[in-house]
Structure 1
Amino acid sequence: MLGIVVSRADRASEHVGDRLRDLVDWSPVDAPDHPDAAGPVYRTDGAQLREFDAWHLHLNDAADAFPAELDLLVFASRHSGETGPLLTAHHTGNFGPAEHGGEDDALARACPNAHSRVLDALATHAPEDYEVGMECTHHGPTDVGVPSMFVEVGSGDPQWDDPAAAEAVARAILDLRGVAPDADLEPASAEVAGTGADTVRRHLVGFGGGHYAPRFERIVRETDWAVGHLAADWGLDAMGDPAANRDLLDAAFTESAATHAVVDGDHPDLRDEIAALGYRVVGETWLRAVTGVPLALAARLEDTLVPVEDGLRFGEPASESSPDAEFETVSLPEDLLDRAQGIDQKRTRDLLAAHALAFETEENGNRVAGRAAVASRGDYTTVIDGIVDLLRTAYDAVERREDAVIAREETFDPGKAKTLGVPEGPKFGRLSAGEPVEVDGTTIPPDRVRSEREDRFSL
């Protein structure tokens, strides 16, 4: 069940509340007492709404004001700033002193999956001149009772009174009915399992960067990872020494149901403390590489081959495999691979991506190198067959044997041309291009100055 909080102290929130009531049918239901609540609870399919006199930032235990057990609570709110027309969403809490509600050094339970979904919904419903973005964790409340977030209209009076903006936020909030606050669980990798966790969610905690978080927004939009709490640079400054605030760091992961982090910037002390707590710092390349790939399988492939940061890339079969899928490691024939990539590097890489679970690369993942992991020897055979087909585009004949690939081509032989008295220069070029030339009244056909060359590539 989705709970929606509307604050009468915030006219943007009231406008969103009005649009919510216009868009679907609501019925009043009996509500428990709450010191800050105003009026009944209104209920529609999958959601409940209640108004409060107090500012959202200072509400405590807001989930207790609803009669049904909630899975997710959304605060409809205004956003203030010098950012123009903006629809935004963020989690709440304080990485340091509580200057605007909540408790010092305390974080509300985040809702990473719902947060990702509401960003998509805001982008779908936003009026044409509005941007959509995400913010770092800031302000109260910190005691909510269920996973929660703020969804906001910004950034000044014209937008707070804009019916189109209020309706966009209202529609985005209604789209959250039936949406789980967290991503699905999946088996943990050995690394995470070593901390005692048997399962993991694709949730991140973010550290560093500005108040508005384009890097983390990009991660949400372009990978299958969601972002929980996010401590911007100013939040890290407010927190202080990571070693002296390990409980708060640990809470950022606990309240985000996360085991991974992305750190924007160097912050070596922070990285050390995160590792000491048993969590893993990863980069965008890793997130993109493992998108769609079972994390336990990705970890096993990294352990067997090389880490993603050293060039490992996953193929399409990895996305279709189980976390405990079996595989074998094969060494790719170096000379054959080099020749194939000299002919068509992209096609060679695409062959590996289509048939291998994972493969090693260099040159920022563009060039295949070294070894691969395949689900069966048949997949390796398919890759070699594909490379043989690629060689046929550059050679006159290609033969695959058990231990080698033999490629043959006829090429222009300068030595034969000289023997026949052809002078170097334009006539060499014409013969090389397959045209006959005349020398001292004699026509020299191109086939008289060609020789067969054979390349052998061991398997």
Structure 2
Amino acid sequence: MRCASPNRGGPAAGRWEACLAAPPNPRIGPWFRLLKSIADSHNLTPEFEVTLEATHHGPITNAPTMFVEIGSTEEYWKRQDAAQAIALLVWEGLGLGGGDAVGDWSRNCFQQKILLGIGGGHYVPRHMDIVQKDGVWVGHLIAGYSLPMEDPGPSKSQANLEVGGTWKQAIRVAFDTTRAAFPQGEVLAHLDNKSFKGWQRNAIVGFLAEKNIKVGKPSDFC
């Protein structure tokens, strides 16, 4: 069971082709935690793993958007118990039963911090470790495969190295659309440092500083 934001993908729906992305839905973090709770209470775990996914595939919309999915194969898609859990997530998440909606950014959530995940694999485990904690808001999550960086060869040890590739555009679009989805919030980048080589990490940190995008530690989001 997964929650994810869409973009326009390239090969295998992975790369940020033309660097287009929908604004992430602010409900992703709160609904991810609610889905984990529902899956646990309905004895769907550990058979089903509840996870986030990196931003990938379309469609591109102007409205804040998210996917909530059951599994990856037809075997799981037809599971009634899993479908009921997703239906309950939507019912409770939108407040259709009379309770408060879950993850409504417009309800006194201004000035809070939002995690913009950079790096890691498709299921973004290091970013997800933070988002599992109550009160954490999350925007786009960019997997390492969506950050093409041209290896500079022997010059990679130089300071202020210019690294080619479309990684800058991907980060910029992810930041801009996340900021648009969370009015008056503070978007902080969270790097999966272990997923990058030293020269890659230095290039990304330098670019973030150039664009005045702050980098947050795990404790900054809790």
TM-score bracket, shorter-length normalisation = 0.7 to 0.9
1:136 aligns with 2:49: no
The structural deviation recorded for 1:110 is: 0.3
- Asked if structure 2 preserves the Cα contact closer than 8 Å seen for 1:97 and 1:238, the reply is no
- Asked if structure 2 preserves the Cα contact closer than 8 Å seen for 1:116 and 1:220, the reply is yes
- Asked if structure 2 preserves the Cα contact closer than 8 Å seen for 1:88 and 1:153, the reply is yes
The structural deviation recorded for 1:99 is: 5.3
- Asked if structure 2 preserves the Cα contact closer than 8 Å seen for 1:88 and 1:134, the reply is yes
Q: What is the letter of the counterpart of residue 25 of structure 2? A: C
Map 1:64-143 onto structure 2 (within 5 A). Answer: 87-94=1-8, 97=10, 100=13, 104-112=18-26, 114-126=27-39, 127-128=44-45, 129-142=47-60
Instruction: Report the equivalent of 1:182.
Output: 105
1:170 aligns with 2:87: yes
Q: What is the letter of the counterpart of residue 160 of structure 1? A: W
The structural deviation recorded for 1:179 is: 3.9
The structural deviation recorded for 1:121 is: 2.1
Q: 1:211 aligns with which of 113, 122, 132?
A: 122
Map 1:223-242 onto structure 2 (within 5 A). Answer: 224-237=135-148, 241=163
- Asked if structure 1 preserves the Cα contact closer than 8 Å seen for 2:7 and 2:20, the reply is yes
How many pairs were matched up? 185
Q: Deviations over 1:362-399 (max 9, x none)?
A: xxxxxxxxxxxxxxxxxxxxxxxxxxxxxxxxxxxxxx
Map 1:47-446 onto structure 2 (within 5 A). Answer: 87-94=1-8, 97=10, 100=13, 104-112=18-26, 114-126=27-39, 127-128=44-45, 129-142=47-60, 144-177=61-94, 178-180=101-103, 182=105, 184-186=109-111, 201-222=112-133, 224-237=135-148, 241=163, 246-257=168-179, 259-265=187-193, 266=196, 267-287=201-221, 291=222
Q: Deviations over 1:239-282 (max 9, x none)?
A: 99578654432221121125210111251101111111111112
User: For 1:269 and 1:139, how far apart are their aligned partners in 2?
Assistant: 26
- Asked if structure 1 preserves the Cα contact closer than 8 Å seen for 2:147 and 2:170, the reply is no
The structural deviation recorded for 1:155 is: 2.6
- Asked if structure 2 preserves the Cα contact closer than 8 Å seen for 1:103 and 1:140, the reply is no
RMSD: 2.7
Pair 1:281–1:223, CA change in 2 (3 A): farther
User: For 2:69 and 2:126, how far apart are their aligned partners in 1?
Assistant: 20
- Asked if structure 1 preserves the Cα contact closer than 8 Å seen for 2:30 and 2:103, the reply is no
Q: Deviations over 1:176-232 (max 9, x none)?
A: 21345537112xxxxxxxxxxxxxx32111011111122111111225322211111
Give the match's secondary structure for 1:104. Answer: strand
Q: Deviations over 1:126-163 (max 9, x none)?
A: 22432211111111112x23111000000322211110
- Asked if structure 1 preserves the Cα contact closer than 8 Å seen for 2:38 and 2:85, the reply is yes
User: For 1:115 and 1:218, how far apart are their aligned partners in 2?
Assistant: 14
> Whose radius of gyration is greater, 1 or 2?
1
Pair 1:233–1:138, CA change in 2 (3 A): same
Pair 1:228–1:238, CA change in 2 (3 A): farther
- Asked if structure 2 preserves the Cα contact closer than 8 Å seen for 1:242 and 1:269, the reply is no
% identical equivalent positions:
28
Q: What is the letter of the counterpart of residue 125 of structure 1? A: I
- List runs of 5+ in structure 1 lacking aligned partners: 1-86, 187-200, 292-459
Pair 1:247–1:155, CA change in 2 (3 A): closer
Pair 1:242–1:249, CA change in 2 (3 A): farther
- List runs of 5+ in structure 2 lacking aligned partners: 95-100, 152-162, 180-185
Give the structure-1-normalised TM-score.
0.37
User: For 2:104 and 2:208, how far apart are their aligned partners in 1?
Assistant: 24
Instruction: Report the equivalent of 2:160.
Output: none
Give the match's secondary structure for 2:75. Answer: helix
Higher relative contact order (CA 8 A, sep 6+): 2
